[in-house]
Amino acid sequence: MATSFVLLSLNEILFHFSRAAAGAGAPAGICDEFASNAAWLAFIDMDPARAVMPALDALARGESNGDLVIRDNRLACPDGRMVSALFAGPVITDRLSMAPTEPVTLHVEKVDVPLLLAGAVASAGRDHTRLSWHGGSGTAIDIAGGTATLEGDSTRTRAAVTVVANAPGTTMSSSAPRHAIEEGRRTALDGGISVDSSAWSGILAYYARTLVPSTARSRSEGAGPSDGT
Q: Is 93 exposed, middle or buried (0-12, 13-18, 19+ CB in 10 A)?
A: buried
- pTM score, whole prediction: 0.88
With both helix axes pointing from N to C terminus, report the angle between 85-98 and 48-60 in degrees, rounded to the nearest 10.
Answer: 110
User: Is residue 168 very low, low, confident or very high in pLDDT (cuts 50, 70, 90)?
Assistant: low
User: Within 10 Å of residue 33's Cβ, how many Cβ atoms?
Assistant: 20
CB 157 within 8 A of CB 113: yes
What pLDDT digit, counting tens, does each position of 90-143 carry?
A: 999 998 888 777 888 999 999 999 999 998 888 887 778 999 999 867 799 999
Assign 207 to helix, strand or coil: helix
pLDDT computed for residue 172 by the predictor: 60
What pLDDT digit, counting tens, does each position of 8-52 carry?
A: 999 999 999 999 999 999 999 999 999 999 999 999 999 999 999
User: Is residue 55 very low, low, confident or very high in pLDDT (cuts 50, 70, 90)?
Assistant: very high
DSSP lists the bridge partners of residue 8 as: 193
pLDDT computed for residue 173 by the predictor: 63
Maximum distance among all Cα pairs of the chain, rounded to whole angstroms: 65
Tell me the mean pLDDT in the region 153-180: 81
**Chain center to CA of 83:** 13
Q: Which of the 8 DSSP states describes residue 173?
A: -
pLDDT computed for residue 100 by the predictor: 73
* Report for 112-121, 124-133, 166-175, 200-209: range of highest mean pLDDT: 200-209
Query: What residue segments make up the domains of the chain, in order of their start?
Result: 5-188+198-212
**Beta strand segments in the chain, E:** 5-8, 64-65, 69-71, 74-76, 82-83, 104-111, 128-133, 140-144, 147-151, 159-165, 178-180, 193-196
User: Is residue 228 very low, low, confident or very high in pLDDT (cuts 50, 70, 90)?
Assistant: very low
Torsion of CA 213, 217, 218, 219, to 10 degrees: 100
**Beta strand segments in 166-207, E:** 178-180, 193-196
pLDDT computed for residue 229 by the predictor: 46
